[in-house]
Amino acid sequence: MTIGDRNPPTFQRGQVLTAAALNQLAQAVAAILARFTGPQTVEPLQLTGKLDGALAAATSFATSPGTATLSVWQKNSSGDYEDSGRNVEVTNRFENLSFASGQILRVGWIDGEWQPTAADCE
Protein backbone atom coordinates (compact mmCIF):
# COMPACT_ATOMS: atom_id res chain seq x y z
CA MET A 1 0.00 0.00 0.00
CA THR A 2 1.32 3.43 -0.91
CA ILE A 3 0.02 6.98 -0.74
CA GLY A 4 -0.97 6.85 -4.43
CA ASP A 5 -3.06 3.65 -4.19
CA ARG A 6 -6.62 4.38 -5.30
CA ASN A 7 -7.84 0.90 -4.35
CA PRO A 8 -5.87 -0.37 -1.35
CA PRO A 9 -6.31 -4.03 -0.42
CA THR A 10 -9.41 -4.86 1.59
CA PHE A 11 -9.02 -6.74 4.85
CA GLN A 12 -11.05 -9.90 5.28
CA ARG A 13 -13.01 -10.69 8.44
CA GLY A 14 -10.66 -12.17 11.05
CA GLN A 15 -7.52 -11.11 9.20
CA VAL A 16 -4.72 -9.85 11.48
CA LEU A 17 -3.07 -6.50 10.78
CA THR A 18 0.70 -6.99 10.90
CA ALA A 19 3.06 -4.43 12.40
CA ALA A 20 4.48 -3.70 8.94
CA ALA A 21 1.01 -3.05 7.49
CA LEU A 22 0.08 -0.88 10.47
CA ASN A 23 3.27 1.16 10.01
CA GLN A 24 2.46 1.63 6.29
CA LEU A 25 -1.05 2.77 7.19
CA ALA A 26 0.25 5.25 9.78
CA GLN A 27 2.76 6.68 7.27
CA ALA A 28 0.07 7.05 4.60
CA VAL A 29 -2.30 8.84 7.00
CA ALA A 30 0.50 11.16 8.21
CA ALA A 31 1.39 12.02 4.60
CA ILE A 32 -2.23 12.82 3.78
CA LEU A 33 -2.59 15.00 6.88
CA ALA A 34 0.63 16.84 6.01
CA ARG A 35 -0.87 17.78 2.63
CA PHE A 36 -3.89 19.40 4.28
CA THR A 37 -2.45 20.85 7.48
CA GLY A 38 1.22 21.37 6.74
CA PRO A 39 4.17 19.39 8.04
CA GLN A 40 3.66 20.07 11.76
CA THR A 41 0.71 17.93 12.83
CA VAL A 42 2.40 17.01 16.11
CA GLU A 43 3.06 18.90 19.28
CA PRO A 44 5.19 22.04 18.85
CA LEU A 45 8.87 21.28 19.10
CA GLN A 46 9.49 24.30 21.36
CA LEU A 47 7.57 25.69 24.33
CA THR A 48 8.01 28.78 26.53
CA GLY A 49 7.06 29.10 30.16
CA LYS A 50 8.07 29.70 33.76
CA LEU A 51 9.69 27.21 36.08
CA ASP A 52 7.53 26.18 39.05
CA GLY A 53 10.64 25.28 41.04
CA ALA A 54 14.41 25.45 40.75
CA LEU A 55 15.97 23.35 37.98
CA ALA A 56 19.31 22.00 39.18
CA ALA A 57 22.32 21.36 36.96
CA ALA A 58 22.98 17.76 35.99
CA THR A 59 25.53 15.93 38.10
CA SER A 60 26.19 13.78 35.03
CA PHE A 61 25.11 14.69 31.50
CA ALA A 62 24.46 11.05 30.63
CA THR A 63 22.97 9.59 33.79
CA SER A 64 21.90 12.23 36.37
CA PRO A 65 20.05 15.21 34.86
CA GLY A 66 18.16 17.77 36.90
CA THR A 67 14.38 17.92 36.52
CA ALA A 68 11.66 20.44 37.32
CA THR A 69 8.13 21.40 36.26
CA LEU A 70 7.56 24.16 33.71
CA SER A 71 4.23 26.00 33.46
CA VAL A 72 3.67 26.47 29.73
CA TRP A 73 2.66 29.96 28.64
CA GLN A 74 1.07 30.81 25.29
CA LYS A 75 -0.51 33.78 23.53
CA ASN A 76 -4.15 34.53 24.20
CA SER A 77 -6.62 36.14 21.77
CA SER A 78 -5.27 39.61 22.67
CA GLY A 79 -1.73 38.58 21.73
CA ASP A 80 -0.50 38.62 25.34
CA TYR A 81 1.14 35.63 27.02
CA GLU A 82 -0.70 33.84 29.82
CA ASP A 83 -0.37 30.60 31.75
CA SER A 84 -2.03 27.88 29.65
CA GLY A 85 -2.64 25.63 32.64
CA ARG A 86 -0.44 22.97 31.08
CA ASN A 87 2.72 21.70 32.80
CA VAL A 88 5.64 19.69 31.39
CA GLU A 89 8.64 18.10 33.05
CA VAL A 90 11.92 19.68 31.98
CA THR A 91 15.14 17.66 31.95
CA ASN A 92 18.37 19.65 32.39
CA ARG A 93 21.44 17.84 31.07
CA PHE A 94 23.72 20.90 31.34
CA GLU A 95 26.31 20.29 34.04
CA ASN A 96 27.16 23.98 34.57
CA LEU A 97 23.76 25.66 34.23
CA SER A 98 20.98 25.75 36.77
CA PHE A 99 17.77 27.79 36.67
CA ALA A 100 15.82 29.53 39.43
CA SER A 101 12.17 29.07 40.27
CA GLY A 102 10.04 31.48 38.25
CA GLN A 103 12.68 31.88 35.54
CA ILE A 104 11.43 32.17 31.96
CA LEU A 105 12.67 29.23 29.94
CA ARG A 106 12.32 27.99 26.37
CA VAL A 107 12.47 24.22 25.99
CA GLY A 108 12.79 21.97 22.96
CA TRP A 109 11.72 18.36 22.43
CA ILE A 110 15.06 16.53 22.24
CA ASP A 111 15.47 12.75 22.38
CA GLY A 112 12.06 12.25 23.98
CA GLU A 113 12.33 14.89 26.71
CA TRP A 114 11.85 18.65 27.13
CA GLN A 115 15.33 20.19 27.48
CA PRO A 116 16.25 23.88 28.03
CA THR A 117 17.30 25.69 24.85
CA ALA A 118 17.16 29.31 26.04
CA ALA A 119 16.62 31.18 29.29
CA ASP A 120 16.01 34.71 30.52
CA CYS A 121 19.17 35.24 32.58
CA GLU A 122 20.44 38.20 34.53
Residues 84-106 pLDDT 10s: 999 999 999 999 999 999 999 99
Instruction: Specify the DSSP class assigned to residue 20.
Output: H
* 24 and 52 share one domain: no
Long-range residue pairs from 109-113, CB within 8 A, at least 24 positions apart, any chain: 109/43, 109/45, 109/46, 113/89
Domain count, the chain: 2
- 59 plus 115 within the same structural domain: yes
Give me the pLDDT at residue 65, please. Answer: 98
> In this structure, are 69 and 107 located in the same domain?
yes
The model carries a pTM of 0.64
Give me the domain span that covers residue 98: 46-119
Q: Give the CATH number, domain containing residue 99.
A: 2.40.50
pLDDT (tens digit per residue) in 8-32 = 677 788 888 888 888 888 888 877 7
Domain co-membership, 107 together with 68: yes
Residues 7 and 29 in one domain: yes
CA distance 10 to 1: 11
Q: Are residues 70 and 89 in the same domain?
A: yes
- The amino acid that residue 75 corresponds to is K
